[in-house]
Amino acid sequence: MTANGWLQIFVFLLAVFLVTKPLGTFMARVFGRERTWLDPVMRPLERILYRLTGVDESHEMDWKEYALALLLFSGVSMIVLYVLQRVQQWAWLPWNPQKLAGVAPALAFNTAASFTTNTNWQNYVPEATMSYLTQMVGLAYHNWVSAAAGMALAIGFIRGITRREQKTIGNFWVDLVRGTLWVLAPLCLVGALLLVSQGVVQNLKPYDTVQLLDPYQTPQLGSDGKPVNGPDGKPAMQTVSQQVIAQGPTASQEIIKELGTNGGGFFNANSAHPFENPTPFSNFLEMFCIFVIPSALTYTLGTMTGYRRHGWAVWAAMALLFLAGVTTAYWAEARGNPQVTSAAYHASPHPSSPAQSTGNLEGKEVRFGVANSALFATVTTDTSCGAVNSMHDSFTPLGGMVPLINLMLSEVIFGGVGAGMYGMLVFVILSVFIAGLMVGRTPEYLGKKIEAYDVKMAMLVILIFPLVILVFTAISVLYSFGTSAISNAGPHGFTQILYAFTSAVANNGSAFGGFSGNTPWYNTSLGIAMLLGRFMMILPMLAIAGNLAGKKQTPATLGTFPVTGPLFTVLLIGVVVIVGALTFFPAISLGPILEHLLMQAGKTF
């Protein structure tokens, strides 16, 4: 751990803090239907879209109609993406210069579910599987609309808090359009140009083939992907003298991948690939874009409810949880594996000198180093963004535990675009309820009484999440169709499976790199887990919003628990951590904690 590493972490958080108020204020005006500086350009486009689609922007929806609109929109979008993948090889379809084949049914279902739910889990090599048409029209489209839908849901929840004795929480179609045009479009335009300036590629060219300066020998693989033997019984070798350089419209995909907290890479190496993330500035910009909208939504919450200090209290809870995670990950990765340090000590020509650990560099780009790898891993798993600039599977057990725990806390540490806000608001409801129980009063939240229905719906959200994760994980570790996908035995192999389903249900999309999920079981089960993790948690959340909108405003009294100060922030953090710890601690103990103890005893996996 170095002063330079800590400086980069705190500069990053400071940059996020500084943009929270201006962007949060802007979004409050956008979704409050107030005039903004973008109206002369965006308002005519908005009206054209409503005319083409038959949307009445003055029509307000109750929570059930709002949910139905979301489900219908997501369902149709998912079907279209599935079909596009299956037929991308048709000769009359454009932008397939590599003549890539259609995607297999199970994988197409998994990918369609993944991008529809803002998960962007990828059981395939993008540059060898998806045509430019599928990448740009299919996948990128979902990057935009799934993020805009998440924002719409968060705004719907906030309206439920602010409205009094009303049945409606807004119009889904209007919120979707305004989030896309006013928020995502201008940010993506500026961000994409910045990425291009750093060297991120943006073209529609066929892949280039170049001659290697230093050809090398590699084992020859059969059709099953396994090495084949020659006549002498030894592995057959082949000479590699050329390399295919993949490229494409990367910058435009990369920026919405980060701003929309999607995470699906244009290349298999994701943000570790130099065409996606070539410089220190691009690395900083990508992390910044992941946090910027979720952070700003806390100020939007405070502005729309009229309690700005409450918005900052929620932001403080998220920031403290973020700092706890990045501190642990940075410490674990900087400390490294003691066995490696010991081996270096014994191999040293001067073994009498003390051994010095350089940290765990396995699976990391040297250009980013330990600090930026730990920071990137924490940022992307605090949100629903599955982007990576290093391989989580190569982290130390405790370093890899941090991304896992971040996901297990139900995507509320800033969280996905919109999803983090409405997820945290569910925990706010529980925190206020617990505070009410402690003081013996009816719980109140910003003038609304929290009653049995609200708590039941909140608990339904909390319980669905671990239920889906643990059930699918249990099935997968018991049968060969599940264990055949892991690359390690023991607790690390268990963690690979646990992380996969946690990432799917949390709609994150990152994975431990040794996990091979392109099988019928995992394509199907992970796809189902993603859909349940998205929509089965949205429905009770919207029910809470609709119920709150219909309530009267209750004046605050001396017995009302304040939700604007440090005490509330501490209580909120406690509820988030305790709920996650009590639910998942046994699984974590069997995975990364056990692996850490065994590593200290000299055994690795």
Q: How do residues 357-380 score in pLDDT, each as one tens digit?
A: 568 888 999 999 999 999 999 999
Q: How far apart are CA 207 and CA 281, in angstroms?
A: 26
Give residue-wise pLDDT tens across range 254-286: 999 999 999 888 888 999 999 999 999 999 999
Is the pLDDT score of 342 beyond 80? Answer: no
Any idea how long the chain is? Answer: 605
- Copy the structure tokens of residue 237: 């070798």
Whole-model pTM over 0.85:
yes
What percent of the chain lies above the pLDDT cut of 70?
A: 96
What pLDDT is stored for residue 346 in this prediction? 56
Specify the range with the lowest mean pLDDT, choosing from 37-41, 80-84, 443-447.
443-447
Given this model, what pLDDT does residue 159 score? 96
Residue 89 token pair = 């090889």
Query: Rg (Cα) of the chain, in Å, rounded?
Result: 24
Hey, is 212 helix, strand or coil?
A: strand
469 touches 507 (CB < 8 A) = no
Residue 223's pLDDT band, with cuts at 50, 70 and 90, is low
Q: What is the DSSP letter of 61?
A: E
CB 366 within 8 A of CB 389: no
339 pLDDT exceeds 70?
A: yes
In the numeric block, which tokens belong to residue 526?
Answer: 């992970």
pLDDT of residue 494: 95
Q: Is the pLDDT of residue 295 over 90?
A: yes
| 415-431 average pLDDT score | 93
What is the predicted pLDDT for the residue at 439?
78
| Helix (H), strand (E) at residue 189 | helix 185-198
Alpha carbon distances (Å) from 80 to 55, 120, 523, 551: 21, 16, 18, 40
Query: Hey, which bits of 329-478 come out as E strands?
Result: 444-445, 448-449
For the cut 60, the answer to whether the pLDDT of residue 351 exceeds it is no
Contact 473, 501 (CB under 8 A): yes
Give SS3 for 249. Answer: strand
Mean pLDDT of the chain: 91
Q: Return the SS3 of 203.
A: coil
- Residue-level pLDDT at 601: 87
Give dist(CA 581, CA 304) in Å, integer: 32
Question: Is there a contact between 253 and 140 (Cβ–Cβ < 8 Å)?
Answer: yes
Q: Is the pLDDT of residue 446 over 70?
A: yes
Mean pLDDT of 321-325: 96
Taking residues 349-360, report their average pLDDT. Answer: 61
The amino acid that residue 151 corresponds to is M
Judged against a pLDDT cut of 70, whether residue 307 lies above it is answered with: yes
pLDDT at 350 (0 to 100)? 59
Secondary structure of residue 265 in the 3-state scheme: coil
For the residues of 562-598, what is the DSSP string, one character each? PSSSHHHHHHHHHHHHHHHHHHHHHHHIIIIIHHHHH
The pLDDT confidence band at residue 91, using thresholds 50, 70 and 90, is confident
Coil, strand or helix: which one is 417?
A: coil
519 confidence band (pLDDT: 50, 70, 90): very high
CB atoms under 10 Å from CB of 3, counted, come to 7
Q: pLDDT by residue (tens digit) across 524-570?
A: 999 999 999 999 999 999 999 999 999 998 887 777 888 999 999 99
In tens, the pLDDT along 471-490 reads 999 999 999 999 999 988 89
* Structure token pair of residue 513: 């790199």
| pLDDT at residue 349 in the model | 60
